[in-house]
Structure 1
């Protein structure tokens, strides 16, 4: 997959751009992203830290995923934001 993914919370906002197997992070721009995740700051932190996956937050109605949730998008998000074991 190649494209732009925006994670948009109240204060915490970032764009991940994936091109030719390289990932870069930046601030979101006016150009629309291919995938947009919207949530509160606490949920964004939990996802980025690997405490929960985007799909887990989505199922608990704490995360909005656009354009729409599909199996391939869920796999992509769980690859980009994997759940990590707590030590």
Structure 2
């Protein structure tokens, strides 16, 4: 099961009572947030340095990150360094 399918299953079955996109008072909100962070997101403001084509950028939380990071060291968001959309 992919992270996306897991999150959809969670939203359809665990969150079916409130149907809110994100409920701050829900005791399982931490689990939902953790699942969302496992879905890789593209960094913002990617910079590619010269010859080595080494990438750096920023996570959506604002933390500076480099291509060696598979996830943000501050917020834990999985990073998608792949080319294209």
Answer yes or no: same fold by TM over 0.5. Answer: no
Higher relative contact order (CA 8 A, sep 6+): 1
Classify the TM-score, shorter chain. Answer: under 0.3
Bigger radius of gyration, 1 or 2? 2
TM-score normalized by structure 1?
A: 0.23
More strand by proportion, 1 or 2?
A: 1
TM-score normalized by structure 2?
A: 0.23
